[in-house]
């Protein structure tokens, strides 16, 4: 189901949106909080520059709002509708979910944002020659 060449693959794995060959992040664990935002400058396989322009990932903050709402709705449905929790307990479940999944939400949002601008190219990794770049 999750195959290279799909936007969903790049978004869920955090891999290069152009070649899908390596992670964009220096540490793939989003819970390594000190390294949450640290990204490689370029893909070592295809040479894609991840920070297209200064402050490029500020746009991902808008995406994170939507992703956060999705997580909050999921927490509400599970706590209130499936488990039958009271509203105060459901509110605590929503806040707890957002706090616990904050690093994941941030990474997903960055992955979604960059995938708006860069398309998959199956030949990208084959075209790139590191010795040519200066």
pLDDT at residue 129, rounded to an integer: 53
Token couple for 15: 């891999």
Report the distance separating Cα 43 and Cα 79, nearest Å: 41
What secondary structure letter does DSSP report for 56? Answer: G
Q: What is the chain's Cα-based Rg? A: 18
The CA distance from 23 to 126, in Å, is: 17
Give the Å distances, CA to CA, from 100 to 45, 73, 90, 131.
33, 15, 15, 43
pLDDT-based confidence at residue 134 (cuts at 50, 70, 90): very low
The pair of three-digit structure tokens given for residue 105, joined into one six-digit string: 């939400």
Residues 103-125 pLDDT 10s: 999 999 999 999 999 999 988 87
CA-to-CA distance for 15 and 21, rounded, in angstroms?
A: 7
Maximum average pLDDT range among 5-19, 52-66, 89-103: 89-103
Task: Evaluate if residue 94 carries a pLDDT over 80.
Answer: yes
State residue 127 phi and psi, 5-degree precision: -75, -30
Confidence check: pLDDT of 132 > 80: no
Calpha distance 67→83 (Å, rounded): 23
Which tens digit of pLDDT belongs to each residue from 25-77? Answer: 999 999 999 999 999 999 999 999 999 888 999 999 999 999 999 999 999 99
Q: What is the pLDDT of residue 122?
A: 86
């Amino acid at each position: 189901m999750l195959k290279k060449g799909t936007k969903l693959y790049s978004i869920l794995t955090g891999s290069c949106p152009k070649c899908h060959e390596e992670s964009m992040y220096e540490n793939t664990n989003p819970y390594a909080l000190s390294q949450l935002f640290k990204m490689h400058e370029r893909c070592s396989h295809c040479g894609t520059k991840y920070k297209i322009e200064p402050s490029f990932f500020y746009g991902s903050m808008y995406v994170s709002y939507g992703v956060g709402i999705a997580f909050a709705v999921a927490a509400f449905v599970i706590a209130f509708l499936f488990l039958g929790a009271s509203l105060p307990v459901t509110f605590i479940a929503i806040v707890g979910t957002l706090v616990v999944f904050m690093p994941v939400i941030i990474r997903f949002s960055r992955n979604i944002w960059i995938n708006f601008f860069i398309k998959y190219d199956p030949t990208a990794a084959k075209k790139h020659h590191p010795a040519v770049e200066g």
